[in-house]
Structure formats: C-alpha cells, structure tokens
Chain A
Amino acid sequence: MIEESDELIVRAARALSGMPPTKAGAVARVLMAVRANQARPLPFWKRAMRRFDETSVSAKAAGLLMAASLVIGFFARGTVGNARDSFAGGSELSGTALQSIANMPAESRPVPVAVAVELANAKTVAVVGDFNGWDPSVTPMQRVGKDGPWSATVLAKPGRHTYAFMVDGATLVADPRAPRAKSSDFDGDASVMMVRTP
C-alpha cells in the first residue's frame, strides 16, 4: 500500500511540477508528423516481406510446400540447363541429358548423325541446321588429322532436316554429298538430311 507521505511520490511530484508548460498545438504537430510518416509508402519488396512475415504458416502448409518443391524438382530434372545439350552435337552430353533422350518415344528420339566435309582452306567449320537452331557455336567441327576432312556428330530427331556448313564464321556452304534443299525463302544453298527412326 502506498501512503501520501511516501518519499518517492513526493520527489516525483516535485520533479514534474518543475517541467516547462506545454506549448499550444504541440500535440497536434506531433500527431501530424506521425501521420505523415505513416502515409509514405514502403518499397514493394519491404511490403511483400512484411506481409509474408505476418502470414502464419501451418506445419501442414510447410509440408505441402516442401513436397511441391520435391515434385517440381523431380519432373524438372534433366530439362533445366540440359534442354540445349540434348540437341547439341559435337559436345559431350551429360548423364541427365542422355537419360532424358532415352526416355523419349522412338519416333521422336534424337539419334547421332555423323557429318563430314572436305574444306581444305577453311580455318574453322561448324555445322548449322534446324537441329541446332542454326547456331554456329553449338556444333564446331574437328579436323581429322592435319589436312583431313572436317567432321562432327549432331543429334537430330527422325525426319527431314536442312543444314549447311558455316566456314570461317562467315560463309554458308552446302554439303556437296547430300541433296540440296529447295527453299525460296532465303538466298543460298542448304542440304537435306533424312534421319531414320532408331
């Protein structure tokens, strides 16, 4: 129980009575400042993080989240990062890329096809075609010996494909040993490769 003559209360009353009087409108100014601070919008990421933190996550939801990520990971294996490898010839294929190819139905499964060409004066040769997106960086060809033919292996799905050789990064040359592709779309010669079902 606290008595009126308590020394602590007396000291507190004395200290408070010594404070300067409150200026008129001070309370209103403080409230306006607080309101103005609240009105300033937070950046998007801060709001998102705050909302996320305010959301309660049940153990069941967390379990579902983890399970979903495992399922996505299982089905996405071999597709992310390997999609290009799967159809790129001339380079070594990763195990997952080979596995994803093996899982395809036979009629759409890419098969390795060897291509070779004699281009004695070429410094670099790459095979480009619809099987590698006409990208010269995908399938560079290797020279057999010092002055031998250029060769590479591409992976192509069964069916008809058009291709050509990119010589020294500038000139497209058709394969002299393959039928020509008749195309009125672009000037220049391409060749045709028929790939049979494995």
Chain B
Amino acid sequence: MSNFIRWTARLLGVAAIASAPQFVGAQEARLLAIRDDATRDFVRQFVEAARVRGTPTEPLVSRALEGVAFKADRKRIEQAMAALEKRLRRSRDLLGAKATADEVAAGADALAADVPAGMIQEMKKLAPQRQITVELGVLTELVAKGISPKVAAERIKELMARGATGAQLTELNAAVQQDVALGIKPVAALELRGRGVMSLLPPPASVNSAQRR
C-alpha cells in the first residue's frame, strides 16, 4: 500500500513539474519569435524586472513582438519597451491598485496620446467599481482623430457621468469616424454625435442608480 502511495506521489510530482512551464513559460514560448538572441535576452530580462515592479507584462511582450513584426532593430524595441513601461506604471498609479492589466494598458495608450493624467484619474472616479478600458480606448481614438485631449476627455466624462455604457461610447466613436470620413470636422462630429448619445441617456436624477449597476 505504501509503495502504491509513493509511486502515486511520484507521478503527481512529475505531472506538476511537467505542467508548470505551461503556466510560467507561455510568455517565454512567445519570446522565441524574437530570433535575435541579444534582443530576446533583453526582452526576457526587461519583462522579468517589470513583473517584479508589479507592472503588467503582457503589453510589454506584445510591444516587443510588434517590433519584431515591423522588423525594428534591437535599439528601437528597447526604447519602445522602456517608454511603454514608464507609461504603464504611471497609468497604474492613476487608475489605482485594483485596475486590471487591460485597463492599465488602455490608460498607457491614453497617456501616449497626450491625454492629461488628471483626466484619466477623473474618469476612473466616475466608475470606480468597473473597468474603463473601452472608455479610455474611445478617448485615445478621439484624440487620434485630431480632437484636443481636454475637449475629448471632458465629453467622455460628461457622458460617463450620465451613465453612458462602453458600447454607446464605441458607437459614438464609430459615428464620429464616419462623419470625419465624410469631411465633417472632428470636434463638430463629436459635439453632434455626443448630443445624440446624451439624448438616449436617462435624466441626471436616475444616473446614480444606473451607475451602481
């Protein structure tokens, strides 16, 4: 009987050792796409250091692999990762410790688009109990269309305060995109489409209960 237990324990140990790399090594396996040894070593060490600092590592790995896809040299990849890590840390500080990795990455993108840090923080305060990944993504895109970061952030905040959902904001962004393609100025398109979304939202009195959902 004791032999049976010993052999079972041995088999379980071997299974645990064999399956561990699948958890730990998923990112490592993806790094094999980086053919240059020096670049791969740099990325591996950089990601590990970021992990120790508590920075989400997935956006960093993704940025390195994006660099590989664009045939960027090592120096370019290093610069891109260093800049992104700085933004990710800033974003995490702004969004709070409970923010998800996706949310932190979206905040970093918004910072890259020159959205003022204070605006990101204020947006999070409007929805402290849920992710604002989509809201931050829409904001980044509106700024990319040429709308000033301050104007875009104020409009998004206004809609969020009235209880606009991520889906409604995504539709707003798509509508603005269509308008801009038709030749309407981005700021005017945002104003027009923003009013349209606002008209669908419940009156301010019932917003608090809608936000708690």
A81 CA to B19 CA, complexed, in Å: 9
Alpha-carbon gap, A179 to B143, bound state (A): 12
A102 at the interface (CB under 8 A from B): no
Are A185 and B69 interface neighbours, CB within 8 A?
no
**Docked CA distance A192–B140 (Å):** 11
B8 touches A62 (CB 8 A): yes
Q: Does B198 contact A (CB under 8 A)?
A: no
Question: Contacts A159-B134, A196-B170; is A57 near B66 (CB within 8 Å)?
Answer: no
Chain A positions 121-173 with a Cβ under 8 Å from a chain B Cβ? 128, 130, 133-136, 157-160, 162, 164, 166, 172
The reply to whether the CB of A74 lies closer than 8 angstroms to some CB of chain B is no
Which A residue's beta carbon lies closest to that of B138?
A194
In the complex, are the beta carbons of B76 and A185 less than 8 A apart?
A: yes
Given the complex of chains A and B, what is the CA–CA distance between A164 and B63 in angstroms?
14
Min CB–CB distance A41 → chain B (angstroms): 22
- A194 in complex: contacting residue of B19, B22, B137, CB < 8 Å: B137
Q: How far is the CB of B61 from chain A (nearest CB, A)?
A: 7
B contact residues, total (Cβ < 8 Å) = 55
Chain A interface secondary structure, helix, strand, loop or mixed? mixed
Closest partner residue, chain B, to A79 (CB atom): B23
A76 at the interface (CB under 8 A from B): yes
Given A107-B166, A160-B137, A192-B144: A134 in contact with B68 (beta carbons within 8 A): yes
- Knowing A62-B5, A164-B69 are in contact, say whether A108-B144 is a contact too (CB < 8 A): no
Interface pair A196/B166, CB less than 8 Å apart: yes
Query: Is B99 an interface residue when CB atoms closer than 8 A count as contact?
Result: no
Q: Is A80 an interface residue (CB 8 A)?
A: yes
Chain B residues closer than 8 Å to A44, beta-carbon distance: none
Stretch of B37-45, B116-124, B154-162, B171-179 on the interface side: B171-179
Residues in chain A within 8 A of chain B (CB atoms): 52-53, 56-57, 62, 65-66, 69, 72, 76, 79-81, 83-84, 107-108, 128, 130, 133-136, 157-160, 162, 164, 166, 172, 179, 181-182, 185-188, 190, 192, 194-197
In the A-B complex, the 5 residue pairs with the smallest Cβ-Cβ separation, listed nearest first, are: A160-B137, A196-B170, A185-B80, A186-B70, A134-B65
In the complex, 14 of the A-B residue pairs with CB atoms within 8 angstroms, ordered by the A residue number, are A65-B9, A83-B22, A134-B69, A135-B65, A158-B134, A159-B102, A160-B136, A160-B140, A179-B144, A179-B145, A186-B76, A187-B70, A188-B70, A197-B170
